Amino acid sequence: MATLFEPAQVGQLSLATRVVMAPLTRNRAPGALPTELMATYYAQRADPHNGAGLIISEATAISHQAQGYADVPGIWNDEQVQGWKRTTQGVHAVGGKIVLQLWHVGRVSHVDLQPGGQPPVAPSAITAKTKTVLIKNGLAEFVDTSAPRALALDELPGIVQDYRHAARNAIAAGFDGVEVHAANGYLLDQFLRSGSNQRQDAYGGSIENRARLLIEVMQAIADEIGGGKVGLRLSPVTPANDAVDALPQPLFTYVLQQLAPLRLAYLHLIEGSTGGPRDYQQGPSAFDYAALRHAYRSAGGTAAWMVNNAYDRALADSALADGADLVAFGRLFIANPDLTRRLREGAALNKPDRMTFYGGGAKGYTDYHSLSS
Ligand SMILES: Cc1cc2nc3c(=O)[nH]c(=O)nc-3n(C[C@H](O)[C@H](O)[C@H](O)COP(=O)(O)O)c2cc1C
C-alpha cells in the first residue's frame, strides 16, 4: 500500500506525492482574466514536498456562455491563455504540476453573466433551485439563478467543440492536463441526471442517452490532447446546485464502463454531499463507491482513483489502504499552503476564513502562513 507522501504515475503525469489540491473557485479574475495574484496563490501551494503533488485549478469557463459566477477565469481566448502562462510557469518553477478544470455551468448562471444578457442554457428549460454569485460594488452577493432555455439538438456539437478548443488552449497555456468538471450540478451533470434532463431526443431519457454528451466530450478531449492528460470529476450523489437523480448507481456505473477504453489519467470522486455529509444519500440505497470502482476496473479502466470530501490525514490513510490512489483536499489547502508538510509532520492547521472564499484580493488568499523552515 502506498502512503500519501509517495510518488504516483497518473496517466502521463508523474506526481511526487498523492496529495492533491482540489479545484477551488475564488472569484478573483475580473473580466475572466487570470491575474498575477492568482499566479502567486498557486505558486505558494505548488512545491510538492510542502504543497500539492498535483494542483487542480479553480473551475474555468470554456466559453462566455459557460460562465455562471462573477469574476471566474476563462480559457476560450488568447488573452486568457497568455494570462494563465504566469500561473503554469510559477507552478513549474518550483517543481509542481497543475491541470486546468474545464467548466460549463449550464443553467447555474444569471442573465447578467451571459453573452447579450441571454438566458443560460440547459438540457431542459427547468430552473435550478440554487444561487449564483454576482459581485456588486466589490462585494459578493448571492442571487437566484435565471430561468434557462433548453439547448437545441444542433447546438450540442458546438458544446463538444468548445470543450475541445478549451483543452487545446489549456495545453497551449502550459497546463499539464485538464480535469473535466462533470460534478456539482453543472452542465454535464445536468445532462446526466433525471431531475434536470427531461429531453425527448438522443440526449435524454435512458441512462445511455443522458450519458451521451459527457462521453462525447471526454472522447473529443482525449483525441485532442491524449487521454493520459485528462481527468474527470464526478459527484454521484451530491445535491449541490439542485442535482437530482433517481438511480445514481447504474448511471455512474454505465458512464465509467463507457470511459474505460479512453485510458484517462484519473477519476475524481466527490463522496457524499460536496462540502457536507459524506454519508449523504440519493436514490434507493447508499451509493457503493467500491462497487463503482470495481465495475470500472472490470471494464479495463486504468485511471488513478482520486477521492475527495472532508478528508483529513486519518481518513486519507484509510482510503489509500482501501485502494484509492490520490486524495484531494479543498478547504484545507485554502488556509494551508504547506498542507503536505503539515500532514506529514502532524502540525497544527490554519483555519480557512469563509468570508474571503469568494471575491476580494490578497486577504484570505495569499496571506495564509506556511511553517517556517
Ligand atoms: C471556496 C470553494 C470553492 C470551490 N470551487 C470548486 C470548483 O471550482 N470546482 C469544483 O469542482 N469544486 C469546487 N469546490 C468543491 C471542492 O473542490 C471540494 O469538493 C469540497 O470543498 C470538499 O472538499 P474538502 O472537504 O477537502 O474541502 C469548492 C469548494 C469551496 C469551499
Per-residue pLDDT, 29: 97
Per-residue pLDDT, 137: 80
Q: Is 69 in the pocket of ligand 1 (CB under 6 A)?
A: no
Answer whether residue 263 shows pLDDT above 80.
yes
Question: Which atom of ligand 1 lies nearest, measured to the CA of 183?
Answer: 11
Q: Is 311 in the pocket of ligand 1 (CB under 6 A)?
A: yes
Q: Which of 224, 225, 244 is nearest to 235 (CA)?
A: 244
Give burial (CB, 10 Å; 0-12/13-18/19+) of 328.
buried
Q: Is 356 in the pocket of ligand 1 (CB under 6 A)?
A: no
Per-residue pLDDT, 135: 83
What average pLDDT does range 274-282 have in this prediction?
96
* Closest Cα to atom 4 of ligand 1: 24
Answer whether residue 302 shows pLDDT above 90.
yes
C-alpha distance from residue 68 to each of 57, 64, 163, 196, 354 (Å): 17, 9, 16, 17, 20
Going from the Cα of 326 to the center of ligand 1, the distance in angstroms, rounded, reads 16
Answer whether residue 139 shows pLDDT above 90.
no
Answer whether residue 123 shows pLDDT above 90.
yes
Answer whether residue 1 shows pLDDT above 80.
no
Answer whether residue 373 shows pLDDT above 80.
no
H or E, element range at 8 = strand 8-10
Q: Is 59 in the pocket of ligand 1 (CB under 6 A)?
A: yes
Per-residue pLDDT, 136: 82
* Closest Cα to atom 30 of ligand 1: 24
Answer whether residue 138 shows pLDDT above 90.
no
* Closest Cα to atom 14 of ligand 1: 24
**Model pLDDT for residues 179-228, shown as the tens digit of each residue:** 999 999 999 999 999 999 999 999 999 999 999 999 999 999 999 999 99
DSSP character string of 97-142: -EEEEEE--TTS--GGGSGGGPPPEESSS---S-EEEEEETTEEEE
Cα–Cα distance between 56 and 67 in angstroms, integer? 18
Per-residue pLDDT, 367: 97
Question: Which atom of ligand 1 lies nearest, measured to the CA of 59?
Answer: 8
186 is catalytic: yes
